Amino acid sequence: MLTLVKNLRYAILLCDDIEGMKAFYKGLFAFPIDSESATTLTFQSGATLLSLRQRTRDYDGQGTRAHLPGVQMAFLVERHEVDICHQQLVEMGVEIVDPPTDQPRGHRTVYFTDPEGNLLEIYAEV
């Protein structure tokens, strides 16, 4: 057990089409940009950094699997904002996987995907 590890500081999403993913995430969220290079983009999302990084290393793996997402990220909003976010996503032409739904686990959710098939969730605690 790594008892010295106390928090998650940043998450990195590996990307094949870094330019397409940069455009999608810049248009999706109003998070401040922490840093950007030709192969990366990092947003400040509260206490956690959200980074996009082009697959450039041998161990990064290759290719996307839209039918089998490799990651799911969830973004917290207020209850009434889930439906507002859903409408904004529809207006942006984002693929909705599951429309706003009250889940038995006490969340109201909407699920959608990014251009590389990663599963994203907007949710509220209800």
Mean pLDDT on 39-51: 96
Shared-domain flag, residues 125 and 75: yes
State which amino acid sits at residue 86: H
Structure token digits, residue 47: 């206490």
pLDDT digits (tens, 9 = 90+) for 53-108: 998 887 777 765 656 566 889 999 999 999 999 999 999 999 999 999 999 999 99
Shared-domain flag, residues 101 and 75: yes
Give me the pLDDT at residue 63, please.
64
Shared-domain flag, residues 50 and 101: no
Closest Cα to residue 25, out of 84, 81, 34? 34
Shared-domain flag, residues 48 and 98: no
Is pTM beyond 0.75? Reply is yes
State which of 10-14, 19-23, 51-55 shows the largest mean pLDDT: 19-23
Segments forming the whole domain that contains residue 102? 69-126
Shared-domain flag, residues 44 and 96: no
Shared-domain flag, residues 78 and 123: yes
Is 95 part of a structural domain of the chain?
Answer: yes
Give me the pLDDT at residue 117, please.
87
Please count the structural domains in the chain: 2
